[in-house]
Structure 1
Amino acid sequence: MSHSTQQGFTLIEWLIAIVIGLFLTAGIGSFLVASQRTTEATYHSEQMMDSGRIATHLITRDLKMVGFFGEYTGKPMVRGAGVTLVTSDIPSANDCLTDWVGATPEGSFPSAGGRFSPLFVGQVSNSNSLSGQYACVSSRSNLVLDSDVIGIKRVIGSPKLSAADLNSKRYYFAANSAQAELFTSSDPWPSEADMPGRQVWEYQHFVYYLDVSAQSGLPVLRKLYLHNDSGMQAINGPLVEGIERMRLLLGVDTDTSVDGVINEFIAASNVTPLQWSEGRVIGAKLYLLVRSLTEDQNYTNNNSYELGDVAVAAANDHYRRTLFESVIFFRNMVY
């Protein structure tokens, strides 16, 4: 009878197998960790890109059309000299006012004093204010310091064909090339006989600003709009979350003779009254600093971001950030 012999692994073979297994396990573990970090970084990047694109689109769309008032081109935006206010004025406590020194404060509607600003840009100071301007915004407690507030006046949408198309919560602007009226759905519809060739548009005053949400703790982009019942009213909820800083520089034609070419981008506070009155403000450059909504513990941000003339340093935290920049040319500015 023959006997077969069985042989197992030797100790050395076992040790070699264990070492190889440890190397494979370590490699797989490293791959999984790296994959998780890459996935997390990709998630944050995609979220920031989405937030930045949406916020940039919303603001630049309105900036491109700032000062657009339909057919009205023949006279200045002065109440009683081209523009007739058919509806009632908005109480100052419910409006967004620009308080010009030596002149009547200017609200959403053209004033009789001859000053009309289709565009307002102010920077929130350390005192959480706009130096007395736009109290509709500066009365809020969670504004993002050193960020800009942007006010835009224009008509929106498509021309209305009849009184049946009007919304009772909105204001409207009827105009031909020589005259204009501001009215609501409860006011008489302007007739073709009284205003030949007129078009009727919705009149709006939009205000963009940043604050920190009391609910989420995130910096968010918000918007006010003109409402017939309550004056300037905030849209419910934030427009976009994660917008950490907003800066708008104005493009100015500084040549001796106005040639319609931007020579430099400067802060709104540095634009002179003469440059405004001569129509030299013809564009803008928008900067948005976008922050991830959640922290990435595998990343420390110690970068500095240049928003035109302002540098914003990250606080060595774990939030990722991306800077968006867009150049806008004004098509319809009326001074």
Structure 2
Amino acid sequence: MTPRAHSQPLSHVRHQAGMSLIELMIAVAIGLALLAGLSSLYVSTSKARSEFNKTSEQVENGRFALQSITRDIEMAGFYGRSSLPVATTSYALSDPCATAPASMGFSTTPALTVPLPVYGPALASTAPACLPATLATTLPNMKAGAEVLTVSYVSGSTTATPDGNNYYLQRSGCETDSVSMVYSKTAGAFTLHNKAPSGSSVCSTSTSAELRQYVERSYYVATCDVCSGTGADTTPTLKVAEFVNGAIQVSSLVAGIEDVHYSYGEDLDNNGSPDCYVDNPSDVSAVPTACAAAAAAAVPPYTWTASATANWANVTAVRINLLSRNLDNTASWTDTRSYDLGRAAADGPYNDHYKRHVYGTVARIWNTGGLRENQ
């Protein structure tokens, strides 16, 4: 029998043995369980992050749309450095498609006339021609029944020389000028003057009145962002038709805006503050009961007139409610909600997989209401 003097103990031999099949299977099972848990956590976190990004984008789009419209409403009706006298100014019903100076609302005969600060032309029986209901393609452009808000004003910054393409307004600061206002794009037409420097009351033939570029924008909702070509889509989009270089140019402003409703605050007692809100100042037959009562209580009583221009001229605030939609859908979500934008009928339910939210604000028309407050 061979001696075991140099052999290792039997206990040490046992320690060097490999894992048993049962131990290996238990280890694999534990590992798979941990891996499944981590995978589930990763998927859940990714979905949450994706939904958060979608919601953040929708919130940002809704707020930006409100800010853009509000900023223009607050500038609406600004037609020069000295503001327009309330009692001697007439307003012309705005035409968002007009490109000829004679039909854009500016006139000095027989009285000083300017375009309405705000106007909702889509509330008329037909949509403006420059905002077509369909394009030449198969995709629609302007959403059926969409409301349009047109704002008019001149830029807050002055221009030394007209560029020959855009239109400018020049307001006279001198009583000796033959007219009080010039609206043109031709440099030779701007011949009005200001007072002499240093607060003098004397008119200066060497000091020309400043020029301000005319701004006219019409906001509306389209059913597409890119409406033609290979990249055409069906994303609802807030678009703006802007008067630039003597023509109407349409561009996308904010994608994901599905609907916008405007209510117009009427100043019935001429103190600058809105006394009630109507959906359509042009429609005398649809004056809300509350507005009719407020008109009767005004001093002197306010008479709703069949003249659309007169009613629109008394708008001193605009209430804006818009519906913003996620740009990407959520498969696990079905939108069964209804959304109140201030109309008689709510929007929805849409029964699709997009999340939505309503955003709202009230914008003051300072260049109308502010002047009345200071009378």
Q: TM (normalized to structure 1)?
A: 0.76
Aligned to 1:131: 125
- CA drift of 1:283 comes to 0.4
Corresponding position: 1:260 with 2:272: yes
- The one-letter code of the counterpart of 1:187 is G
CA distance in 2, matches of 1:147, 1:118: 20
Alpha-carbon contact 2:258-2:322 (below 8 Å) kept: yes
Structure 1 range deviating more: 10-19 or 284-293: 10-19
Structure 1 residues not aligned, in runs of 5+? 80-91, 98-105, 125-129
Which letter maps to 2:323? L
Do structure 1's residue 289 and structure 2's residue 290 form an aligned pair? no
1:177-216 matches, within 5 Å, as 179-192=180-193, 198-213=209-224, 214=227, 215-216=232-233
Matched AA of 1:120: Y
Summarize the Cα distance change of 1:22–1:226 in structure 2 as closer, same or farther, 3 Å threshold: same
1:277 maps to 310
Report if the CA contact (8 A) 2:106-2:183 is conserved: no
Identity %: 24
Corresponding position of 2:89: 76
Q: Which amino acid aligns with 1:262?
A: P
SS in structure 2 opposite 1:204? strand
Shift of the 139–24 alpha-carbon distance from structure 1 to 2, 3 Å rule, reads: closer
How far has the Cα of 1:187 moved from its partner? 3.5
186-195 vs 199-208, which moves further: 186-195
Q: Cα distance, 1:25 vs. partner? A: 2.6
3-state DSSP of counterpart to 2:351: coil
Separation (CA, whole Å) in 2 of partners of 1:34 and 1:226: 48
How many angstroms does 1:34 deviate by? 1.0
The letter for the 2-side match of 1:250 is Y
Aligned to 1:307: 341
Flag the 1:76–1:280 CA change in 2: closer, same or farther, 3 A. closer
Note the C-alpha offset of 1:50. Answer: 2.6
Taking only aligned residues, the RMSD between alpha carbons, in angstroms, comes to: 3.4
The normalised TM-score by structure 2 is 0.69
Largest Rg, 1 or 2: 2
Q: Does the 8 Å contact 1:96/1:135 carry over to 2?
A: no
**Aligned-pair distance for 1:32?**
1.4
The separation in 2 between residues aligned to 1:265 and 1:332, in whole angstroms, is: 19
> Which protein has greater RCO, CA pairs closer than 8 Å, 6+ apart?
1
CA distance in 1, matches of 2:365, 2:238: 22
How many equivalent pairs are there?
302
Alignment deviations for residues 3-52 of structure 1 (CA, whole Å, 9 cap, x no partner): 32255555654554444334323321221121111111111112212322
Q: How far apart in 2 are the matches of 1:228 and 1:318? A: 42
Give CA-to-partner distance per residue, 1:53-111, whole Å, 9 cap, x none: 322222111111111111252331469xxxxxxxxxxxx996279xxxxxxxx942236
Equivalents in 1 of 2:46, 2:66: separation in Å?
30
Match of 2:297 in 1: none
2:119 alignment partner AA: F
In structure 2, do the counterparts of structure 1 residues 14 and 107 end up closer, same or farther at CA, with 3 Å as the change threshold?
farther
Between 9-18 and 259-268, report the one with greater CA deviation. Answer: 9-18
For the 8 Å contact 2:117–2:153, the answer to whether it is kept is: yes
Match of 1:318 in 2: 353
**In structure 2, how many angstroms separate the alpha carbons of the residues matched to 1:41 and 1:26?**
22
